Amino acid sequence: MPKEYFKNLQDLLNIEREEDLRSYLKLTENTSAADRRALGLTWYPIAIRNTEIGRGDYLTVDLERTTHQDFSHQFRFGSSVVLFSNHDSKEDRLEGTITHLTGNKMKISLRVDELPDWTKDGKLGVDLLFDNNSYDEMQNALKQATHLAENESENKLIRILTKGEKPSFQNEEKFIIPNKLNESQQLAVNKIISADHLAIVHGPPGTGKTTTLVHAIKSLVKHNNQKILVVAPSNTAVDLLTEKLAAEGLNVIRIGNPARVSEHLLAATLEHKMADHSEMKVIRSLKKQANEYKNMAHKYKRSFGKAERDQRKALFEEAHKIGREVEKTEQYIMDNLFNKAQIITATLVGANHYTVRNLKYNTIVIDEAGQALEPACWIPILKAQKVILAGDHFQLSPTIKSNEAGRNGLSNTLLEKSVSLHPESVVLLNEQYRMHKDIMGYSSKVFYENKLLADASVANRTLFLNDEPLTFIDTAGCSFDEKLDGTSTTNPEEAAFLIKHLINLVKEIESLNAAEYFPSIAVVSPYKQQVQILKALVDESEELTIHQNKISVNTIDSFQGQERDIVYISLTRSNQEGSIGFLSDTRRMNVAMTRARKKLVVVGDSATLSKSKFYADFIAYSENLNAYHSAWEFINA
């Protein structure tokens, strides 16, 4: 029953929230601002650059971090934050929400008339608070879905997604689709257009999923004049689709502010479109007036007579009245813009932002659905009659903090469930434009039933003539033993060997290639500490630092959706017991092995790895291609 279905999801989400909160508190309790800054949870110190009346009665404050600007951070549009002073960070605190974020500047909205006195002295900082908002939005969507499920006749889409009721399709003739698309991409676009409720685009690495979605969305707008919501779990995916759709000349509005900065993207933001609206002149003069009233009210701050207090109160009330007028005018502008828009883009949670909360759509498209928590997917799904899921359930699944919630079903995505329940809705994109056929071959066999084809433009493309596109280097017998570094596994000898091999390859490329063409390189490992060792070795190497803008070293997870000419993978594990830990997540390895365009080099210990069928078969696959080498060949060379 759908009702039990949603009740179960609510319970799992509660377990996940508790675990997430526990790990957040463990990370932040009794830590200094400098420690939190290093974790990406704090900007400190910051300077207040401007304050103005914001939406409703809120005060909008412009902040800038003045030091440590190269530190990465976890602040996002919509995050809950707290402004604090180093004088008394327990008492001098003011909570707010990020309404804009670019580079080292952010705007936060505070529910106060004026900044308290403590913001004038001492150093100020901003802390990221626990993300209750996302959990609240997900729980509210599940409650709403439960309510709709009780009235079963009302919502066919819910019955299809939760009970396995069959979706239907229009028997229309095939739409004429631009020749740019290959056969499976055309099939996917036709499936999307003809579906009444559900279509699924299964896009393995390099198969042009984004291109396919853009054509499908364009066709839906053209044929049905539909209003479409396009969402994804990550800002990066939302930005990519927003950019491509805007480049096609479609009227797109991006909710939230983009992580990347580009002309197309900025022009698509709600903020930018509102700024260009003819009514904005009225808003600007109203805001100016409201700020004048507030400034006059501040002058009474030090006077404590009744007349002054009354005067101060009257001035604030006048400012609030204007604030409400501003809000009404802004709402009028937004309604006007949303009526004209063909496509709204947002993150899953952003789909319920106050600016678009009450909008309904014909169709919603969820990209990267293989990485989306199911409860988050229900936020946009409840706003539409038809859903398009796009992604690859054989790549990384969503990050889940609670093992218990994951084990009991939270790690099972709506994409996975829908693919097995509704094979008639699925189109596999089967032609890839990224990898040499030998790099593609093992993933195709294990994950995609050998259905992937390498397009002729990439099938035999190598770095240089007679280069080996795939290399497995076996470190068995080299005594490269793994070590435990905190909670992460490392293998310093394997890292040193891999970097030496990379240096030799770089020298070979330099001797063969013109200087202006140097390939892009990624060095990856599933283990964070191993990545740190590899990074340090790259930084220490003179041969590699001259190409540092072409070499990235990071965990596998950070490369999902990306590609490089050359990819090195340090598998790291090497022990007597054949214990492979993290490596048993074969989906993560699928991501790692499919990032490379022209050359993939995998370094690992066959004695440890071959206890696992996945790695034993991969080693056999490389032997069949004459791509298997013992590390001794290079050590003794």
pLDDT in tens, 343-379: 999 999 999 999 999 999 999 999 999 999 999 999 9
Q: What is the pLDDT of residue 16?
A: 97
| Residues 142 and 375 sit within 8 Å (Cβ to Cβ) | yes
Q: What is the pLDDT of residue 152?
A: 59
Rounded-to-integer distance, Cα 390 and Cα 371, Å: 10
Task: State in Å, rounded, how far the first CA of the chain is from the last one.
Answer: 66
Q: What percent of the chain has pLDDT over 90?
A: 69
Q: What is the pLDDT of residue 224?
A: 73
Bridge partner residues of 91 (DSSP):
none
Instruction: Look at residues 2, 102, 111, 128 and name the one whose alpha carbon lies nearest to residue 49.
Output: 102
Rounded-to-integer distance, Cα 369 and Cα 284, Å: 41
Q: What is the pLDDT of residue 637?
A: 65
Rounded-to-integer distance, Cα 283 and Cα 276, Å: 12
The DSSP bridge pattern shows strands 59-65 and 384-391 to be: unpaired
With bands split at pLDDT 50, 70 and 90, how would you rate the model's confidence at 21? very high
Peptide bond into 233 cis (omega under 30): no
Residue 277: count other Cβ atoms within 10 Å of its Cβ.
17
Q: What is the pLDDT of residue 315?
A: 83
With bands split at pLDDT 50, 70 and 90, how would you rate the model's confidence at 426? very high
The DSSP bridge pattern shows strands 93-102 and 80-85 to be: antiparallel
Q: What is the pLDDT of residue 501?
A: 97
Comparing 83-92, 331-340, 384-393, 563-572, the range with the smallest average pLDDT is: 83-92
Rounded-to-integer distance, Cα 235 and Cα 259, Å: 6
Tell me whether residue 178 is exposed, middle or buried, using C-beta atoms within 10 angstroms of its C-beta: 0 to 12, 13 to 18, 19 or more: exposed
435 Cβ contact list (under 8 Å, min separation 6): 205, 206, 454, 458, 594, 596, 597
314 Cβ contact list (under 8 Å, min separation 6): none
Q: Where are the domains of the chain?
A: 31-130, 155-251+342-429, 276-339, 432-636
Which residue type is seen at 573?
Answer: R
- Name the fold adopted by 432-636: Rossmann fold (3.40.50)
Top CATH class, 31-130: mainly beta
| Residues 130 and 21 sit within 8 Å (Cβ to Cβ) | yes
Tell whether the model's pLDDT for residue 601 goes beyond 90: yes
- Taking CB atoms within 8 Å and a gap of at least 24, the contacts of 98-101 are 99/54, 99/60, 100/257, 100/271, 101/75, 101/76, 101/77, 101/257
Predicted confidence (pLDDT) per residue in 517-544, tens digit: 899 999 999 999 999 999 999 999 999 9
| Residues 506 and 544 sit within 8 Å (Cβ to Cβ) | yes
Of 3.40.50.300, 1.10.238.10, 3.20.20.450, 3.40.50.720, the CATH number of 155-251+342-429 is: 3.40.50.300
Rounded-to-integer distance, Cα 500 and Cα 105, Å: 41
DSSP state of 277: S
CA distances to 76, 152, 506, 540 from 500, rounded to whole Å, are 39, 63, 10, 12
Average pLDDT over residues 590-615: 97
Q: What is the pLDDT of residue 304?
A: 64
| Residues 568 and 519 sit within 8 Å (Cβ to Cβ) | no
Predicted confidence (pLDDT) per residue in 624-635, tens digit: 999 999 999 998
Average pLDDT over residues 311-336: 86
Q: What is the pLDDT of residue 178?
A: 66
Instruction: Look at residues 567, 575, 570, 568 and name the one whose alpha carbon lies nearest to residue 608.
Output: 575
Instruction: Look at residues 360, 361, 354, 391 and name the one whose alpha carbon lies nearest to residue 374.
Output: 391
Tell whether the model's pLDDT for residue 274 goes beyond 60: yes
Rounded-to-integer distance, Cα 358 and Cα 376, Å: 17
Predicted confidence (pLDDT) per residue in 179-213, tens digit: 689 999 999 999 999 999 999 999 999 999 999 99
Q: What is the pLDDT of residue 515?
A: 56
Instruction: Look at residues 476, 559, 475 and name the one whose alpha carbon lies nearest to residue 521.
Output: 559
Which residue type is seen at 367?
Answer: D
With bands split at pLDDT 50, 70 and 90, how would you rate the model's confidence at 175? low
249 Cβ contact list (under 8 Å, min separation 6): none
Kindly report the average pLDDT of the chain as a whole number: 91
Q: What is the pLDDT of residue 316?
A: 80
Q: What is the pLDDT of residue 296?
A: 81
Give me the DSSP letters along 346-411. Answer: EETGGGG-TTTTT--EEEEEETTGGGS-HHHHHHHHTTEEEEEEEE-TTS-----S-HHHIIIIIT
Q: Do the domains spanning 155-251+342-429 and 432-636 agree at the CATH topology level?
A: yes
Rounded-to-integer distance, Cα 332 and Cα 350, Å: 21
Given phi > 0 = left and psi -120 to 50 = alpha, else beta, which region is 167?
Answer: beta
pTM (predicted TM-score) = 0.92
Tell me the HSE value of 173 on the side-chain side, using a 13 A CA sphere: 1
Average pLDDT over residues 494-512: 94
